[in-house]
Amino acid sequence: MATILTVLAVAAGAAQPSAQYAVLVQRYVSGETSAAVATIHEWPAARVRAEVQAIIGVGRTCSSAGWPAGAGCEPSSVWPGLSIPAALMLHTDAARVDAAFEVHDRAALALAQLMAGVPPLADLAERWFGMRARLAREANHWAEAGSWAERGVASFPRSARLRLLLGTIEETLASQEISRRLNGLPLEPDPLRARSRSLASRGKPRAQAASRRTSAPAMTGGAAIYSDFPPPPAESERRSEPAEHLAAAQRALQAALEIEPTLSEARLRLARVVWWRGDLVQAQAELRQIAVTQPGDAGTAFLAQLFLGRVEEDAGQLARALAAYEAAVALRPDCQSARLALSHTRLRLGDPAAARRELETALRSGRSRSRPDPFWLYLTPPAGAAEDELAGLRRELTR
């Protein structure tokens, strides 16, 4: 009882978010999303910061106590009449209106980090971090995608899915750099290393946004939650060499498997990464484990055999490579990538006629294929999924 009274007494004495802010969040929840976003978008930066700081300040005692159950630390008791997840989405949508005015992005990040420590709200926050990383990835802003994934891992160190996502992004960054070098192209910095945004061309002009930032009074005395903004470059933004990205990808993927050993996609990607790093023995072992004990879906099993074939080729085991490619073709006869690999291996084994037949079959299957080849989507997932995630989160919180 003493703990409950202490928590409630401290919360009651803390500065509460304003009534106007609570009304805006409630309008968002009620389905007036566009109107709520338009209104809060006109608020000066200092006011937005003050509201978010008040939210965090009210929950500070429960945060320090680890959000104990039954101690007055339920979200509805700490923030009566205010949905913190809805506030998160309100600022998320406001940030997308005008990418140059970054206060809402920072507010959303602060709220997501807060929610990560609140058991009833943590699941949504974890999904939010993944969604933000995938939104940047779909916009081809890979460095910022890595930044969001890293922030998610920092808040959810036991999330195998976020570590898998981070490993996937690092793997792709490495592949991009390797491809540029193999083709003699200059290395181009990711535009998101300067914290640009996928929607930077929308909303108010940058000059107007900059004016609003500089005209807002600076926060003083209690603004510690924003002391690290703009945040320092994430680790993924500091790396430029393929080897650095591959090492980071391996760390993330191995950590994901330590948390969730049956995560077959993490094992598949780990095998490809260690192959890039020259460890053919580990690559073979990981891929064979997928093929035998963790087949997963047909697409994962197909890729495991396809990648195993390439590893066996590099190991000089052409007969084994041929068997792996044939297994891939058996799983997905309509996929050109496996047919091309099979043709190449047959040619290396001295059978040009069989190699030609595989090529002819690959050309025919390309005209009749009813589903995409998993290899074509391996590094670039289909667009639109992250936007669907965002819409799904929004639907959960509005009525």
CATH number at residue 342: 1.25.40.10
In a domain, 174, yes or no: no
In a domain, 172, yes or no: no
- Give residue 235's pLDDT band: very low, low, confident or very high (50, 70, 90): low
Phi, psi of 380 (to 5 degrees): -130, 90
- Cβ neighbours of residue 122 closer than 8 Å, sequence gap 6 or more: 115, 116, 156
Q: Which residue has the higher pLDDT, 383 or 1?
A: 383
Residue type, 122: A
C-alpha to C-alpha distance for 384 and 71, rounded to whole angstroms = 42
Q: Is there a single domain that holds both residue 148 and residue 293?
A: no
Cβ contact 346:358 at 8 Å: yes
Cβ contact 27:35 at 8 Å: yes
Domain carrying residue 387: 281-399
pLDDT at 380: 79
In a domain, 163, yes or no: no
Where is average pLDDT lowest: 183-192, 271-280, 363-372? 183-192
- Taking the complete model, does pTM exceed 0.85, yes or no? no
- Cβ neighbours of residue 292 closer than 8 Å, sequence gap 6 or more: none
Q: Is there a single domain that holds both residue 286 and residue 143?
A: no
Q: Is there a single domain that holds both residue 22 and residue 137?
A: yes
pLDDT at 293: 65
Q: Is there a single domain that holds both residue 14 and residue 143?
A: yes
Number of domains in the chain: 2
Examine the fold and report which residue of 191, 215, 239 is the final residue of a domain before the chain moves on: 215
- Tell me the helix, strand and coil percentages in the chain, rounded to 5: 70, 0, 30
Q: Is there a single domain that holds both residue 9 and residue 144?
A: yes
In a domain, 227, yes or no: no
pLDDT at 379: 83
How does pLDDT run across 57-74, given as a tens digit for each residue? Answer: 988 888 888 888 766 788
2: pLDDT strictly greater than 50: no
Q: Is there a single domain that holds both residue 210 and residue 286?
A: no
Token reading at 388? 């669907």
- Read off the pLDDT of each residue in 353-358 and give the average, rounded to a whole number: 93
Q: Is there a single domain that holds both residue 22 and residue 128?
A: yes
In a domain, 24, yes or no: yes
In a domain, 168, yes or no: no
231: pLDDT strictly greater than 70: no
Average pLDDT over all residues of the chain: 82
In a domain, 263, yes or no: no
Q: Is there a single domain that holds both residue 206 and residue 57?
A: yes
Examine the fold and report which residue of 215, 237, 258 is the final residue of a domain before the chain moves on: 215
C-alpha to C-alpha distance for 34 and 65, rounded to whole angstroms = 37
How does pLDDT run across 185-226, given as a tens digit for each residue? Answer: 665 554 444 433 333 333 333 333 443 433 333 323 333 343
- Read off the pLDDT of each residue in 260-265 and give the average, rounded to a whole number: 92
pLDDT at 295: 57
- Give residue 180's pLDDT band: very low, low, confident or very high (50, 70, 90): confident
How does pLDDT run across 47-58, given as a tens digit for each residue? Answer: 999 999 999 998
Q: Is there a single domain that holds both residue 206 and residue 324?
A: no
- Give residue 1's pLDDT band: very low, low, confident or very high (50, 70, 90): very low
pLDDT at 126: 97
Q: b/e map of 368-397 (b: 16 or more CB within 10 Å)?
A: eeeeebbbeebeeeeeeebeebbeebbeeb
Residue type, 83: S
pLDDT at 193: 41
Q: Is there a single domain that holds both residue 210 and residue 296?
A: no
- Read off the pLDDT of each residue in 79-102 and give the average, rounded to a whole number: 88
How does pLDDT run across 312-350, given as a tens digit for each residue? Answer: 999 999 999 999 999 999 998 888 999 999 999 999 999
In a domain, 82, yes or no: yes
How does pLDDT run across 279-309, given as a tens digit for each residue? Answer: 999 999 999 988 776 655 788 999 999 999 9
Share of the chain above pLDDT 70, in %: 79
Q: Is there a single domain that holds both residue 35 and residue 152?
A: yes
Q: Is there a single domain that holds both residue 291 and residue 381?
A: yes
